[in-house]
Structure 1
Amino acid sequence: MNKALLVLVAAALSLSAGSAMAQKKQLVIVVKGLDNPFFEAINQGCQKWNKENASSPYRCFYTGPASTSDEAGEAQIVQDMLGKPDTAAIAISPSNAPLIANAIKAAKPKVPVMTLDADLKKEDAGLRKTYLGTDNYLMGFRLGEYLKKAKPNGGTLCLILGNVAADNILRRASGTRDALSGKKDVDRLKGEGGWTEISGCPVFTNDDGPKGVQAMSDILTANPKLDAFVIEGGWPLFGAPQPYRQLTDQYKAQIASKSLVIVAADTIGEEVALAKEGRVEALVGQRPFEMGYKAPSVMIDLIEGKKVDDPVFTGLDECTRETADTCIQK
């Protein structure tokens, strides 16, 4: 075969491959923002599914706004994706649950919709077929239990949260408060179980790591006798590990003696290393890679009309300084 013919054959094969890719139906994952390492782990799971299912008529397609603070951008992407003829199903991690619910209603989808990582509010649950991800209430409850174990007599605390309308984070906060109070549906701790949330808290950081570290620094400056932080998403640790180290360097003695206790969500980036260093009492982590890897299969089941559980939980990983070497699910 001469060189010119080889070039023509290669071009034809490339065109054929491109055409096949174009014909694949999209299993769309829309996350809160592409600037967050947590969501990149979801993307890695999505890409692994693609690699293992290269001959499938479906392709996992990962997208989202550039920043987790762009709630309107995420809602617009959801509407755009639901309007595309090659979208076969969609999995959404709502940054602003009511806003995403309105976007779904406006799009009037003809394909299956599910939520991933974060859910819609209970009153909007009928807009999606299932939720895949963390049991967020349990996650927050476990954070509360770790704090309670470290400081059984209670004290003052501050909750560090993400977006104001992110349902997953609000559920975690609810779980933490219930664990600490020994009651159900406590809106704010005012002495229940010995715990009191200080003025100015909770702090909403919009999932911004440096902003979270700065908020902790400001709170500690204003409240030097604060007993605890509960960080309901690991943004200050995985999003700004060096500033977090610099902050905790100033409070090494208090953290070592447990006069100041910090418990945090997630086990990604440098978080486990920070636990090993004794800069956080306990981590309760999610499994974002598993979410991204499982989501396409769940969407295909929905497309094919198969029975899918609601919710589908992906489990937790719990880490302390003592268990940091073995705490992550392999």
Structure 2
Amino acid sequence: MSRLTVVAYTFGVLFFLVSCAFSVFYGYKVMSHDLPEEGNEIKGYNYHFVLVPEELDNDYWRLVEKGAQEAAKEYGVLLEYAGPKQANIDEHLKTIEMSMASKVDGIITQGLSDEQFTPLINRVVERVPVITIDTDASNSNRMSYIGTDNYYSGYLAGKALIEDTKGQANVAIITGSFYANHQQLRVQGFRDAVMSEQGIKIITMEESEISRVRAAEKAYQILKDYPEVNAFYGTSALDGIGIAQVVEKYKKTDQVYIIGFDNLPETLDYLSKGTIKATIVQEPYEMGYRAVQMMIDLIEGKTVPPVVHTNTRVLRAADLPVSHLGGREAGY
């Protein structure tokens, strides 16, 4: 073997080892950011909780986290915010399992309707108390649920659409997930509300996968395939925003009625302009704050109600502060 070959071989081995080292380090940093560490020692805190959202960077879940962190600071709790970067049931379940293994004092998590979720929660609560938030898992042994009455919120949306369209609309539904329990309930509540209205027809329903980009793609395809559609109902926080983007670009906003969910800043902007006509407002901050309080009560042996429904209401442009009304008056 020539000297040049030996040098090249040695360099190649060194490069490989350095690459592996960086990969291991990077992987560790990612995992330590997204998942609780086992054996995490808590100093200066009364309790250690983990909040597992549907997806980490969702604006709605950041509001839940804000409320939870405020309560955690007030009550001397270390709160970790950990979970999937994008909605993913396997990563969600893995985060719960890692939280249990790291011996946290309590787990606050969105409920999931997948058949894997209930058996896992039933196993976890034997070691760690679990509170579901935003979406319940009523068939599991979770200790309590705090969040929206999702069926009622869907029913409110249906009644608002009837009122605003005078009972005449061809509706397309874009839902965050066909399989998530809270999304199913919001659809069912809406369907039940409009069922007796002869002038309202549900034309089609599509899934956005909790993505504003996908919601926009679905809205565009619906308008192309079903020109008779003149109303949209979006059941997740990002659906209404995606729908509104398409309606503004491809249709006259006074020809299409949109009712969405939540009061994210973009939603309020579209509401003030009249692109979105109404939105169903939840209380994510309150959910997060009270979930931490309830978990402390559980640990300290106090009685906690099995279900706590936070407030839900319809918001229209007329309900916004004058300072937020920069666009035309909302109306169908």
TM norm structure 2: 0.79
Give 1:295-306 correspondences, 5 Å limit.
295-306=291-302
Does the 8 Å CA contact 1:32/1:95 hold for their aligned counterparts?
A: no
Q: For the residues of structure 1 that align with 2:185 and 2:286, how far apart are their CA atoms? A: 21
The superposition leaves residues 114-165 of structure 1 with CA deviations (integer Å, 9 ceiling, x where unpaired) of 1100111x4x14x111110111111111110111012233332111111222
Q: Secondary structure in 2 aligned to 1:322? A: helix
Question: What per-residue deviation string (whole Å, max 9, x for no partner) do you get for residues 4-43 of structure 1?
Answer: xxxxxxxxxxxxxx97537653122111111311111111
- Deviation per residue, 1:91-129 (Å, 9 max, x gap): 110344433213223446322211100111x4x14x111
In the alignment, the residues of structure 1 paired with residue 72 and residue 45 of structure 2 have an alpha-carbon distance, to the nearest angstrom, of 15
Are 1:205 and 2:230 an aligned pair? no
In the TM superposition, structure 1's runs of 4+ consecutive aligned residues that sit over 6 Å from their partners are none
Secondary structure of 1:98 counterpart: coil
Q: What is residue 250 of structure 2 aligned with on the other side?
A: 250
The equivalent of 2:127 in structure 1 is 110
What is the aligned counterpart of 1:164 among 174, 178, 183?
178
Q: Secondary structure at the match of 2:50?
A: strand
Sort the Cα spacing of 1:137 and 1:167 in 2 relative to 1 into closer, same or farther, 3 A: same
> What is the distance in 2 between the residues matched to 1:156 and 1:136?
23
Confirm whether residue 283 of structure 1 aligns to residue 283 of structure 2. no
**Structure possessing the higher relative contact order (Cα contacts under 8 Å, 6 or more residues apart):** 1
Q: Corresponding residue for 1:75?
A: 93
- Does the C-alpha gap of structure 1 residues 265 and 19 become closer, same or farther in structure 2, counting only changes over 3 Å? closer
1:101 to 118, 128, 139: 118
- From 214, 226, 241, give the equivalent of 2:217: 214
- Residue of structure 1 aligned with 2:161, choices 134, 137, 147: 147
Closer, same or farther in 2 for the Cα pair 1:212/1:316, shift >3 Å? same
CA distance in structure 1 between the partners assigned to 2:261 and 2:78 by the alignment: 31
Distance 1:19 1:219 in 2: 52
Match of 2:65 among 43, 58, 64: 43
Separation of aligned partners in 1, 2:234 and 2:42: 45
SS at match of 2:43: helix
Structure 2 distance, partners of 1:105, 1:307, is 20
Measured in 1, the distance between the counterparts of 2:176 and 2:93 equals 18
1:234 to 234, 237, 240: 237
Q: Report the structure number with the largest CA radius of gyration.
A: 2
Superposition deviation, residue 50 in structure 1 = 2.7
> Normalising by the residue count of structure 1, what TM-score does the alignment of the two structures yield?
0.79
- 2:59 matches 1:29: no
CA-to-partner distance for each residue in 1:211-246, whole Å, 9 max, x for gaps? 0011011100111121311111121345x5xx8435
Tell me the SS of whatever aligns to 2:48.
strand
Instruction: Determine helix, strand or coil for the equivalent of 2:265.
Output: coil
Assess if the C-alpha contact under 8 Å between 2:282 and 2:313 holds in 1.
yes
Distance 2:230 2:261 in 1: 18
Does residue 308 (structure 1) correspond to residue 315 (structure 2)? The answer is no
Q: Distance in 1 between matches of 2:186 and 2:129?
A: 27
Tell me the residue number matched to 1:266: 262
Q: State the aligned residue count.
A: 285
Deviations 1:284-325 (A, max 9, x none): 111111111111111111112222123111212432121122
Structure 1: 5+ residue stretches without partners: 1-17, 183-191
Identity of aligned residues (%): 25
Q: How far apart in 1 are the matches of 2:172 and 2:248?
A: 16
| Gapped regions of structure 2 (runs ≥ 5) | 1-39, 325-332
Give secondary structure in 1 for the equivalent of 2:190.
Answer: helix
